[in-house]
Amino acid sequence: MEDLDLGTVAWPPAPIRTERLVLRGSRECDRAAFVDLLSSPEVHTYLGGARPRAQVERELPGAPEDRPGTFVAELDGAMVGLVLLRRATGHRRPAATGRLDLGYLFLPRAWGRGYAAEACAAALAWLAGALPGEAVVLTTQSANTASMRLAAKLGFTEVERFQAWDAEQWLGIRPPTPGA
Ligand SMILES: CC(C)(COP(=O)(O)OP(=O)(O)OC[C@H]1O[C@@H](n2cnc3c(N)ncnc32)[C@H](O)[C@@H]1OP(=O)(O)O)[C@@H](O)C(=O)NCCC(=O)NCCS
């Protein structure tokens, strides 16, 4: 997957405030949370397993790269998760190829409070304004029940299920936001 193809849209956007969170580009102060997130076995249960913490520490640049389409979700001044919007150029399913792809990873201590839903809804609303008329796809393991619930809550519906990475995957799509 490549960066979000933003065309003329500037990145990062001005920070987006939701009821409880701020969505913004990544900053140097996020590094420790990035390491926690990327090396957490719990977070990677359905993502093929986490990399060892020492490896993440070694490979992560001093400041996490502020990549277009990578939103940091901040709660009370600290990063609690990531919302990712990427152009799925090399997706293995034709229905998803070339479309924008949503991903989300939150620190376990922030699960079960609706933060992921709040952050993703805000990122999708931003996208509807920045790049109107784009459908968004999402791939998740069907066994990942928290992720499946979140996808449904955000308005994704099933395109197909397929076998990959030793598990059944669910491909969902969300039509463009009406009027956007
Ligand atoms: C997928 C993931 C982001 C979901 O996180 P989550 O916290 O369960 O998701 P939500 O933000 O939708 O929160 C949902 C829960 O918060 C509860 N909640 C508590 N307070 C709430 C509030 N004020 N508003 C909304 N929901 C609230 C809801 O009841 C809901 O619980 P339920 O699902 O048991 O009914 C998280 O499990 C994760 O980071 N997993 C690892 C990464 C991953 O697998 N990503 C998927 C592949 S892209």
> Beta partners for 97?
none
CB of 146 closer than 6 angstroms to any ligand 1 atom: yes
Distance, CA 152 to ligand 1 centroid (Å)? Answer: 12
pLDDT tens digits along 27-55: 999 999 999 999 999 999 999 999 999 99
pLDDT tens digits along 69-113: 999 999 999 999 999 999 988 888 998 998 999 999 999 999 999
Do residues 73 and 23 lie in contact, with contact meaning Cβ atoms separated by under 8 Å? yes
pLDDT for 180 equals 53
pLDDT for 33 equals 97
Residue 61 or residue 49, greater confidence = 49
pLDDT for 179 equals 63
Distance, CA 154 to ligand 1 centroid (Å)? Answer: 11
pLDDT tens digits along 12-27: 999 999 999 999 999 9
Distance, CA 81 to ligand 1 centroid (Å)? Answer: 11
Q: Is 123 helix (H, G, I), strand (E, B) or coil?
A: helix
Distance, CA 56 to ligand 1 centroid (Å)? Answer: 25
pLDDT for 3 equals 57
pLDDT for 63 equals 84
Going across the sheet that includes 22-24, the strands are 16-17, 22-24, 70-75, 78-87, 100-106, 136-141, 167-174, 157-164
CB of 121 closer than 6 angstroms to any ligand 1 atom: no
Q: Is 99 helix (H, G, I), strand (E, B) or coil?
A: coil
Best mutation site among 72, 100, 102, 104 for ligand 1, i.e. most ligand atoms within 8 A of its Cβ? 104
> Beta partners for 86?
101
Note the Cα 158 to chain centre separation in Å: 18
Band (4; pLDDT cuts 50, 70, 90): low
pLDDT for 1 equals 43
For the chain, helix (H) and strand (E) counts, in that order, are 4, 8
Residue nearest atom 2 of ligand 1, based on CA coordinates: 147
Q: Is the pLDDT of residue 142 over 60?
A: yes
Q: First-to-last CA distance in the chain? A: 25
CB of 12 closer than 6 angstroms to any ligand 1 atom: no
